[in-house]
Amino acid sequence: MNMEGVEGVSAPPPRFTLTPIQTLKEDILFCVDGDAESQVEMKIATGASGRPLTRLDAIKQAILMFVNAKTTIDPNHRFAFCAIGKSVSWVRKEFNNDVDSALSALRSISVNPTGGLADLTHLFRVAAHEAKKSRAQNRLFRVILFYCRSSSPPHHQWPASQKLFTLDVVYLHDKPGPENCPQKVYDALVDALEHVSEYEAFIFESGQGLPRVLFRQVSTLLAHPQQRCVQDDLDIPKSLARKTPPADAMTGAEVIPVPSQ
């Protein structure tokens, strides 16, 4: 009997199906700002030597945490490293998944004050070239940029039609003041990632100088670009807050007398 023909009985709703897709392994290029502002000290943080932790120190620790976590999720992800002053220079060009090699590359990144604006055009050229090689191996290419300048917006010249990789950004900056304009820098970074990114790109910023904020943001970047929601819909990581029981529950609770001494 056809149930649709029986009065008062409706057909069950169609089943929801999710089309399976192949999640590609990632080649991730870390680009670290080597400008003088990367030497600004973080708050409430000291390194193993007892000296204050700088932005660059905290960035290196966050990247190492990321590499360890990402290779634990899937050891087939690979990483390379570069630094940016006015332009980009390679730190380790070979992509691999070796944590010790990543640590060695991070140790070799140092501050190289150059002044002036950072030109992201060369970074995008490098990323596009490497992304084509990754695609040939059926892999996905991503750039994670750590930027530390509070008064120098980056610039670039790149055709909007070329979206060969995804650009994530972590922006550490000073508080707004007469000599800096972090909002202007942030807007330029947003424009850059929207201009070049193939998949949903994330950008995080912090002017608090707290390492835990940086580590939380970098942990969120573990999300694979093919599996992301729009950043405006992102509600993780959630803050850990102690929940107190509602007043009604407290009223009805049994009171246990405490004997006097």
Task: Give the pLDDT confidence of 6-43 residue by residue, as tens digits.
Answer: 455 677 777 777 677 788 999 999 999 999 999 999 98
- Which sequence spans correspond to the domains of the chain? 31-137+148-225
Residues in the chain predicted with pLDDT less than 50, given as ranges, are 1-6, 250, 253, 255, 258, 261
Supply the pLDDT for residue 95. 97
pTM of the model: 0.83
Supply the pLDDT for residue 179. 87
Supply the pLDDT for residue 234. 80
List, for residues 89-126, the tens digit of each pLDDT value. 999 999 999 999 999 999 999 988 776 789 999 999 99
CATH number of 31-137+148-225: 3.40.50
Give the Cα separation of 137 and 215 in Å (integer).
Answer: 31
Supply the pLDDT for residue 13. 77
Class of residue 59 by CB neighbours under 10 A (exposed 0-12, middle 13-18, buried 19+): buried
CA distances from 51 to 4, 44, 106, 186, 234 (A): 75, 11, 19, 30, 35
CA distances from 145 to 48, 63, 156 (A): 26, 11, 14
| Strand extents, DSSP E, 2-115 | 26-33, 41-46, 52-54, 78-84, 88-96
Give the Cα separation of 201 and 197 in Å (integer).
Answer: 6
Supply the pLDDT for residue 15. 79
Please state the length of the chain.
Answer: 261
Residue with tokens 């149930």, as numbered in its chain: 3
Give the Cα separation of 234 and 228 in Å (integer).
Answer: 9
Q: Please enumerate, as own/partner, the contacts of 12-19 that have beta carbons within 8 Å and a separation of 24 or more.
A: none
For residue 130, give both structure tokens.
């490497």
